[in-house]
Structure 1
């Protein structure tokens, strides 16, 4: 089960002195082989001693993090300097007036709130997250950062409007998927509402999408293929950031992107970015 949400005022779960000292060390490590080894070693020692959520400032946002059951939250807590830095810099460089960002698989809001801090209140940012417990954490974190214009949307995106089964991973809630059962074959399941990306865009009245980020554990093709087929060209995102899990896709997403005028502009260990001129 997902731990119950702690709704106490932000700041009441500040890290105790020993953990604060460890975080000071892990967060200052450089992005080198040795730096990462030091940071991850300290993280390994500190993590078992964390008994509840932790309130921190990271990635230009105030966040309450539950690092013991979600890899995303663990990464942001201990090593935010390693958290998709190149991808977030790229997205921020594309901010313009009336900026529209759709964060699909928003988790607890790391990307969405980081972008919101740079884009300002005039931007429109949708943070789409289907998993009930994680969605509650997302909503809490959005409320702690009122200067940005982030709207949380509780649904899964896919190839149809209706309902999908979400397979939950208890050891890493951020790796839950509508397509893949965890490798050990055991998973909780929950039925969640589903929409296509085109339906979401129409319901939200979007005239364009500047950037879309998709991190949905191998179901990216379920979202993108029908959208590229059915959506008007004006709605195609100028920049797409996709989780690099091509081996899980059951359709030729890369070929479809090329046919629609997208060119690869960034590749990192975890993600790919494509942009239309």
Structure 2
């Protein structure tokens, strides 16, 4: 058996092990755990990022294709730090992962708990569930969290992460969110599974697949949401296709009180931040990757 065949056989043996669906089956080795511990203490400076990147690359090579079961963001997660920037960040440097956005979101969750209210959160483009599990870990049993992810492989990882924490407050839905319901084409980025989009990607190697789609208003109606405390939208430049028709058709009572929006300025067909502000929101902060808007009274 040559080296390539041996490697494939090893991966098949790992993934077919009887306990592969049990959290802890892919616990990090002492060396990987040490690398993770170091990268998680590094500051968000140029040097800190460079050191974290170097250690991450060494650890990924050492992992040799295996996932890692670990606790992060207040939850148990199985992470595949290959061709998914989100999983790499969450595993090795969660302190760099949307820190300002998560701090704002955490304050809203805590305020709802102080008022003894359930927190309703929509995670549109949930990826493997980082935002969803973060909110679920803080929001308590009265929360309702909708995690929406259209890419089949990533959706399976999302479902696994939700199940390991046994949170009945989280519901995962396998569909795209768009300006119309039906079946649409999703373009898969071969280098980063978190970059899949309903809009044509720049990479000529992008793979198109057909996925079911619903509008945001339809999802909120079908799930019987009476209000939405916060929504995160990260759909690689298709956020305008979601929010413009939502604001046009949904009652104001359904407008999310907080919107965390990935900055897709170069791909939007409209001035989406202006539309959001004209709809009654104010910009709280613009970070390196996202806008955060708050609905005014």
Q: Same fold (TM over 0.5)?
A: yes
Select the structure with the greater relative contact order (CA < 8 A; seq sep ≥ 6): 1
Residue in structure 1 matching 2:27, options 1, 9, 14: 14
* 1:116–1:148 Cα contact (<8 Å) kept: no
Residues 7-27 of structure 1 show CA distances to partners (whole Å, capped at 9, x for unaligned) of 421001011121111111111
**Does 1:124 find its partner at 2:144?**
yes
Match of 2:6 in 1: none
Q: How does 1:258-273 map to 2 (within 5 A)?
A: 258-273=277-292
Instruction: Give, in angstroms, the shift of residue 120 of structure 1.
Output: 0.9
**Does 1:79 find its partner at 2:119?**
no
Residue in structure 2 matching 1:109, options 119, 125, 129: 129
Instruction: Give, in angstroms, the shift of residue 259 of structure 1.
Output: 1.3
| TM, length-normalised to structure 2 | 0.89
Match of 1:46 in 2: 59
Inter-partner Cα distance in structure 1 for 2:32 and 2:56: 10
Residues 70-115 of structure 1 show CA distances to partners (whole Å, capped at 9, x for unaligned) of 1111111110111111101111111211210000000000000001
Bigger CA radius of gyration: 2
Q: Which structure 1 residue ranges, 5 or more long, are not aligned?
A: none
How many residues are treated as equivalent by the alignment?
A: 274
Instruction: Give, in angstroms, the shift of residue 126 of structure 1.
Output: 0.3
Larger % of helix: which? 2
**Does 1:235 find its partner at 2:249?**
no
Runs of 4+ aligned structure 1 residues displaced above 3 Å come to 3-7
Residue in structure 2 matching 1:90, options 85, 90, 104: 104
Shift in alpha-carbon separation, 1:168–1:246, aligned structure 2, 3 A: same
3-state DSSP class of the match of 2:236?
Answer: coil
Q: Which structure 2 residue ranges, 5 or more long, are not aligned?
A: 1-10
Q: How does 1:139-150 map to 2 (within 5 A)?
A: 139-147=159-167, 149-150=169-170
Residues 207-250 of structure 1 show CA distances to partners (whole Å, capped at 9, x for unaligned) of 01110100000000000000001100100111100001111100
Inter-partner Cα distance in structure 2 for 1:184 and 1:131: 17
| TM, length-normalised to structure 1 | 0.95
Q: How does 1:111-260 map to 2 (within 5 A)?
A: 111-147=131-167, 149-181=169-201, 183-260=202-279
Residue in structure 2 matching 1:30, options 43, 53, 69: 43
Comparing 145-154 with 155-164, greater Cα deviation is found at: 145-154
Instruction: Give, in angstroms, the shift of residue 147 of structure 1.
Output: 4.0
Inter-partner Cα distance in structure 1 for 2:247 and 2:123: 17
Inter-partner Cα distance in structure 2 for 1:56 and 1:192: 30
Inter-partner Cα distance in structure 1 for 2:277 and 2:192: 33
3-state DSSP class of the match of 2:198?
Answer: coil
* 2:189–2:203 Cα contact (<8 Å) kept: no
- Compute the RMSD of aligned alpha carbons: 1.5
